[in-house]
Chain A
Amino acid sequence: MKILVCISKTPDTTAKIAFTDNNTKFAQDGVQWIINPYDEWYALVRAIELKEKDPSTVLHLVTVAGADTDPVIRKALALGGDEAFRVNADSHDSFYIASQIAEIAKTGNYDLIFTGKETIDYNGSSIGGMVAELLNLPYVSLAIKFDLNGTTTTITREIEGGEEICEVQLPLVVSCQKGMAEQRIPNMKGIMGARTKPLKVVEPVATEVLTSIVGFELPPAKAGVKLVPADNPAELVRLLHEEAKQI
């Protein structure tokens, strides 16, 4: 069994969001980078659990990013990956990124590809679906539970107002979200071991770029809260009815 987990780096959840160069670039000063939480807590940890259950499992990681992502990938290795690939390219175009991942996936013949449901910076939720299409594989998105029995997977996924349980044969692509696993903290043995695990840098294949970021904007500042005294909640209801016109 071979699993590939897609990893991306994102600013820490509490990072200040600001832009430079005439609002065309994300201001990186003082930003701490982390593994995208969905990739780490759900995709990677669930893959590690599968490997713990069946130690013959091979667990690879892939990221499409510049060398500044190496510390983040090392942390993912410390958590439990066996080997990592970094496709040496910087892009925000999901088709470009997915094409690079699909290329790695083809050469590795993976049974299972996990992604997080989205990244918390560009919120694209696109890579899993694109990789699946490029490899002509089934895709189950927004998985909250994943079990494996031989070559059959049983997956619970979110649907509007509930959940759906489905069965799919390997190989396939799954996007993971809350419920799949519980966050872990790497231990000393993992951190030491990660230093010697292979992190292979691969040059990208030629692929079209279909989208580009023209610029960023911050949402307009709020006018400030209008406080209503606690002994007069009816006034709040009046404001919501007459002023905000929402009820």
Chain B
Amino acid sequence: MSVLIFIDQAEGHVKKASLEALSYGAKVAEQLGTTAEGVVLGTVTEDLAALGKYGVKKIHHVSNDTLNHFDAQVFTAVIAQAVTAANATVVIFSNNVDGKAIAPRLAARLKAGLVSGAVALPDTSNGFVVKKNVFSGKAFANIALSSPIKIISLNANSYKIVAGEGTAEVAPLNATVEASRVKVTAVNKVTGEVPLSEAEIVVSGGRGLKGPENWGMIEELAHLLGAATACSRPVADVHWRPHHEHVGQTGLAIAPNLYIAIGISGAIQHLAGVNRSKVIVVINKDPEAPFFKAADYGIVGDAFEVVPKIIEAVKKVKGIA
């Protein structure tokens, strides 16, 4: 018996979401009185044994070149073999792009109950119950899993990374790898930016910023804070900002530690994508803007006057300037 964690990597680097999943999986294993193991696919440049510090005892590594391109079907078949190798009864994914594609496939293959978007450790006091986000972050549901194998995909920033001591045994897994039926022809990545889905701080702008030419201060503030930038839907719709920055019900749902909303009204559909943020700061010139009801801190004022002053103050705090 074990808890198996899928370690997601891109271009050889383990994603931050996977460190959360590893820490979470190690705790689940502790709760169940068993051990945590990991599975990683493809070529990895990082020291896998060092991932032991997040609590995994063993890492199954399938280093087949085919696996350097993501294909949900191929990955699922390989992970299913790792589930057997690890004799896993609980499998953990990050609820990110890859996890959303593989976890359900694996669940169907293994007839395993799946809770996607988990936000807390399972309650194992009476069965196996996992809390997840529902209604786009407006509520939680507690879901009981009754199948012998259980699959959980963990929402980003829902479990803190716990690093201790220890190294993991890295065990090459000689799995059968099918040929992929998905041919990747191009990958366009925005380089040099913090990926929005993984960011701990997000600086976001809305229609109140009047035009794309005014985003310099948003980018500068984000850069100073090591944050990602985001925007409201109308801003992406009129192409002031790229579509992948659009957050909300129809865009990306995020849960950073700090969300700074500038010139955004806080319509319910926008809130649905950001209401899981730990701390929300709102800067809006309209004191009646609905966003203030969801905010922890706020300034009623003109963004064009307030934001440059915030930038100066952040520089002072950071010892720059």
Residue interface bits A117-143, CB-to-B below 8 A is 1, else 0: 000111111111111111001111110
Report chain B residues within 8 Å CB of A239.
297
A150 at interface by CB-CB < 8 Å? no
- Main SS of the interface on chain A? mixed
CB-based contact A234/B104 at 8 Å? no
Say which residue of B184, B282, B296, B316 sits within 8 Å of A166 (CB atoms). B184
Count the B residues whose beta carbon is within 8 Å of the partner chain — how many? 100
Residues on A with C-beta less than 8 A from B140 are 216-219
Interface-located stretch among A52-60, A62-70, A72-80, A157-165: A157-165
Query: How far, in angstroms, from A124 to B114 measured CA to CA in the complex?
Result: 9
Contact indicator per residue, chain A 201-232, by CB within 8 Å of chain B (1) or not (0): 00000001111111111110011011111100
CA distance A213 to B225 in the complex (A): 40
Per the bound structure, the CA–CA distance linking A66 and B27 in Å amounts to 40
10 A-B residue pairs with CB within 8 Å: A95-B114, A123-B117, A139-B101, A142-B101, A166-B184, A217-B142, A227-B300, A230-B299, A237-B314, A237-B316
A44 to B312 CA separation, bound complex (whole angstroms): 49
When the two chains form their complex, are residues B296 and A223 in contact, meaning their CB atoms are under 8 A apart? yes
Query: Chain B nearest CB: distance from A132 CB in Å?
Result: 6
B residues in contact with A246, CB < 8 Å: 201, 257-258, 278-279
In the complex, whether B321 has a CB less than 8 A from a CB of chain A is no
Complex-state Cα separation, A131 to B101, whole angstroms: 11
Question: Assuming A123-B136, A247-B201, is B143 touching A211 (CB within 8 A)?
Answer: yes
Given the complex of chains A and B, what is the CA–CA distance between A178 and B236 in angstroms? Answer: 11
- Asked if A13 is at the interface (CB within 8 A of a chain B CB), the reply is yes
Supply 16 further A-B pairs (C-beta < 8 A) apart from A161-B190, A244-B297. A13-B269, A95-B114, A132-B73, A141-B97, A160-B195, A178-B250, A210-B113, A210-B114, A215-B142, A217-B140, A217-B141, A230-B299, A233-B301, A236-B297, A237-B310, A240-B281
Q: What 1/0 mask marks residues of chain B from 241 to 259 whose CB sits below 8 Å from any chain A CB? A: 0011010011101000110
Query: What 6 A-B pairs come out closest when comparing CB atoms?
Result: A230-B301, A129-B104, A210-B113, A162-B189, A237-B313, A126-B104
Cβ of B139 under 8 Å from chain A: yes
Looking at B129, B135, B268, which has the most chain A CB atoms within 10 Å of its CB? B135
Number of cross-chain contacts by CB at 8 Å = 283
Given A133-B109, A162-B244, A219-B139, also A167-B297 (CB < 8 A): no
Within 8 A of A (CB), among B112-145: 112-117, 129, 131-145
Contact partner of B317 (CB less than 8 A), chosen from A122, A133, A237, is: A237
Q: Which residues of B contact A169 (CB under 8 A)?
A: 181
A192 to B93, CA, bound (A): 46
- With A121-B135, A126-B104, A141-B101 in contact, is A226–B185 under 8 Å at CB? no
Within the complex, the shortest CB–CB distance from A221 to chain B, in Å, comes to: 10
User: Do A210 and B147 touch across chains, with their CB atoms under 8 A apart?
Assistant: yes
